């Protein structure tokens, strides 16, 4: 007997529908597309990176959220996932990776270390990556479980879906980047 499985790949945005047409705003269509095809760049430097491996593997399967394809080139990535301790020496490298990514781009900071330096309150460790690049979503935990990473990822998806197409041109956004000295 055939089982009836309800497959719901992506929600349809609000709009006006009729015979052979569907009307909605461009923002929503683009948001829908971007949200379900994020290409993350995993910047994994230590233990939190191991949790990410679990997140990406079959048990938790991040591909269910449309990020089947990890990008190891910043030029093709639109989500920077920073997982692990970032030493001060690594700071400029992280920043360079961020600068190489094309707009629009988002940043997910995973774990206590990336968020705040974590247990490493030390001369050699950057006390939170938001000292060198802007961060969209913080995931606490040392390390956070894959479920938490996925929740953080879904928060990013929500931001992506609802972001206005003009946000990246706004004065506010430019000012934010300006505080980090990024053009």
To the nearest 10 degrees (0 to 180), the angle between helices 47-56 and 146-162 is: 70
100 binds another protein (CB under 8 A): no
What token pair was written down for 81? 């996932």
181 binds another protein (CB under 8 A): no
Alpha helices in 22-85 (DSSP H): 26-35, 47-56
Find the binder of another protein among 13, 24, 39, 88 (CB under 8 A).
88
Tell me which of ligand SF4, another protein, none is bound by residue 123, counting a contact when its beta carbon lies within the kind-specific cut-off of 5 to 8 angstroms. Answer: another protein
Q: Is 124 in the site for another protein (CB under 8 A)?
A: yes
110 CB burial (10 A radius; 0-12, 13-18, 19+) = buried
CB of 49 to another protein, least distance (A): 21
Asked, as a colleague might, if the bond just before 10 is cis with ω within 30 of 0, I would say no
Cβ proximity of 88 and 126 under 8 Å: yes
Question: Which one of the spans 71-79, 87-95, 97-105, 136-144 is the region binding another protein (CB under 8 A)?
Answer: 87-95
Q: Which residues contact ligand SF4 (rule: CB under 6 A)?
A: 46-48, 84-85, 111-113, 118-119, 142-143
The binding site for another protein (CB under 8 A) comprises 88-89, 91, 117, 121-125, 127
């Amino acid at each position: 007997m055939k089982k009836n499985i309800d497959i719901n790949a992506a929600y349809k945005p609000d709009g006006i529908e009729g015979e052979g047409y569907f009307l909605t705003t461009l923002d929503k269509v683009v948001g829908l597309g971007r949200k379900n095809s994020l290409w993350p760049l995993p910047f994994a430097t230590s233990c939190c990176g191991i949790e990410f491996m679990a997140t990406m593997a079959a048990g938790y399967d991040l591909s269910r959220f449309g990020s089947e394809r990890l990008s190891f080139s910043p030029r093709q990535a639109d989500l920077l996932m920073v997982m692990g301790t970032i030493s001060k020496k690594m700071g400029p490298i992280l920043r360079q990776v961020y600068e190489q990514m094309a707009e629009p781009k988002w940043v997910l900071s995973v774990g206590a270390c990336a968020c705040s330096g974590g247990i490493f309150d030390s001369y050699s460790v950057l006390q939170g990556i938001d000292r060198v690049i802007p961060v969209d979503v913080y995931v606490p935990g040392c390390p956070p479980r894959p479920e938490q990473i996925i929740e953080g990822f879904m928060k990013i998806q929500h931001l992506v879906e609802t972001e206005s197409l003009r946000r990246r041109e706004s004065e506010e956004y430019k000012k934010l980047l300006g505080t980090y000295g990024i053009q």
